[in-house]
Structure 1
Amino acid sequence: MVKIVDNIGWLFFDKILRMGVGLLVGVWVARYLGPEQFGLLNFAIAFTGLFGAIATLGLQGVVVRDIVQNPQGTQYTLGTAAIMQLAGGVVSFLLVVAAIGYFRPNDPLARSVVAILGAIMLFKASEIAVYWFESQVQSKYTVWVQNGVFLVFAAIKIILILQGASLVAFALAMLAEQILVALVLLLVMWRYGLSLSSLQASAARAKTLFKDSWPLVLSGIAVSLYMKIDQIMLGQMIGNEAVGIYSAAVRISEVWYFIPMVVVASVFPAILEAKKRSEDEYHNKLLNLYKLMVAIGLAVAVPMTFLAEPIVVLLFGPAYVAAGAVLAIHVWASVFVFLGVASGKWFLAENLQALSLQRTAIGAAANIALNLLLIPKFGEVGAAVATVISYAIAGLFADLFQAKTRSMFYMKIRSFQIFSILEKNK
Structure 2
Amino acid sequence: MTTVQSIAKNSLFLLSGQIISIVFGFFYFIYMARYLGAEDLGILSFALSFTIIIGLLGDLGLSSLMTREVSRNQSLAPKYLGNVLFIKVFLAIVTFGVVVIVINVLDYSEHTIKIVYIITVSNLLANFTQIFNSIFQAFERLEYLSLGIILNSALMLIGISFAVEQNFDLIYFAFVYLAVNAIVLVYSLFTCLIKFAVPNLKIDWTFWKQTILESMPFWLNSVFVIIYFKIDMVMLSTMDGDTVVGWYAASYRLIDALGFIPAVLMSTMYPVFSKFHISSKDSLEFAFRKSFKILTITAIPIGIGTTLLAERIIVLIYGVEYTPSVIALQILIWASVLSFINYTPATYLTSTDKQRMLMVFTSLGATFNIILNFILIPLFSYNGAAIATVSTELIVGILMFHKIHRIQNLFALLSDVILKSLVAGAVMGIFILIFKDYTLILLIIFSAILYFIALYFVNGFEKEDINLFNQVLGR
TM-score, scaled to structure 2: 0.78
Name the residue aligned to 2:23. Answer: 20
Q: Deviations over 1:153-202 (max 9, x none)?
A: 31121010011111000001101111122223223333334456x53222
| Segment of structure 1 superposing worse, 149-158 or 343-352 | 343-352
**Stretch of structure 1 that moved more, 80-89 or 61-70:** 61-70
Could you report, residue by residue, the CA deviation over 1:61-118 in whole angstroms, capped at 9, with x for unpaired residues? 3224444555555433211110101111111111112111112x14111111111111
Which residue of structure 1 lines up, in the alignment, with residue 433 of structure 2? none
1:395 maps to what in 2? 397
| 1:415 Cα offset (Å) | 4.7
Match of 1:112 in 2: 114
Match of 1:175 in 2: 178
Per the alignment, residue 33 of structure 2 pairs with 30
Measured in 2, the distance between the counterparts of 1:207 and 1:79 equals 14
Structure 2, gaps ≥5 residues long: 425-454, 462-475
The CA distance in 2 between the partners of 1:163 and 1:34, in whole Å, is 16
Name the structure 2 match of 1:299: 301
Report percent identity of matched pairs: 26
| Comparing 413-422 and 306-315, the one that deviates more | 413-422
- Shift in CA distance, 87/299, structure 1 to aligned 2, threshold 3 Å: same
1:156 aligns to 2:159 (yes or no)? yes
- In structure 1, the partner of 2:377 is 375
Distance in 2, matches of 1:70 and 1:290, equals 27
Measure, in 1, the Cα distance between the counterparts of 2:284 and 2:402: 24
Q: Tell me, yes or no, if the aligned pair for 2:59 and 2:91 is still in contact at 8 Å.
A: yes
In structure 1, the partner of 2:187 is 184
Measured on the aligned residues, the alpha-carbon RMSD in Å equals 3.3
Contact 1:55/1:121, CA 8 A, preserved across alignment: no
Instruction: Name the SS for the 1:165 alignment partner.
Output: coil
2:77 and 2:197 in contact (8 A); partners too: no
**Would the alpha carbon gap of residues 186 and 254 (structure 1) be closer, same or farther in structure 2, given more than 3 Å must change?**
closer
Aligned pair partner of 2:104 in 101, 105, 130: 101
Q: CA deviation digits over 1:326-369, x for unaligned, max 9?
A: 11111122221121013224434654332222222222112111
Task: Write out aligned runs for 1:341-356 (5 A).
Answer: 341-348=343-350, 351-356=353-358
**44, 47, 54: which one pairs with 2:47?**
44
CA drift of 1:319 comes to 1.1
Kept in 1, the 8 Å contact 2:58–2:88? The answer is yes
Alignment equivalent of 1:245, drawn from 241, 244, 247: 247
Report Cα offsets for 1:124-160 as digits up to 9, x if no partner: 3354333333343333234324422431231121010
* 1:128 alignment partner, one of 120, 126, 131: 131
In structure 2, which of residues 79, 85, 93 is the aligned counterpart of residue 76 of structure 1? Answer: 79
Between 1:399-408 and 1:205-214, the stretch displaced more is 399-408
What is the deviation of 1:299?
A: 1.0
CA contact under 8 A between 2:332 and 2:387: conserved in structure 1? yes
SS state of the match for residue 167, structure 2? coil
What is the match of residue 313 of structure 1?
315
Residues 223 and 44 of structure 1: CA distance in aligned 2, closer, same or farther (over 3 Å): same
- Conserved 8 A contact 2:11-2:268: no
Contact persistence 2:82–2:202 (CA under 8 A): yes
Task: Give deviations 1:41-66, integer Å, cap 9, x for gaps.
Answer: 01100000002321112112322444
For the Cα contact (< 8 Å) 2:306–2:330, is it kept in 1?
A: yes
What residue in structure 2 maps to residue 384 of structure 1?
386
In the comparison of the two structures, how many residue pairs are matched?
420
How far apart, CA to CA, are the structure 2 residues paired with 1:182 and 1:359? 33
Gaps of 5+ in 1: none
Cα distance change of structure 1 residues 122 and 257 upon mapping to structure 2, 3 Å threshold: closer
Task: Specify whether residues 108 and 216 from structure 1 end up closer, same or farther in structure 2 by C-alpha distance, changes over 3 A only.
Answer: same
Residues 402, 159 of structure 1: alpha-carbon distance in 2 compared, 3 angstrom cutoff? closer
8 Å Cα contact 2:252/2:329 also seen in 1? yes
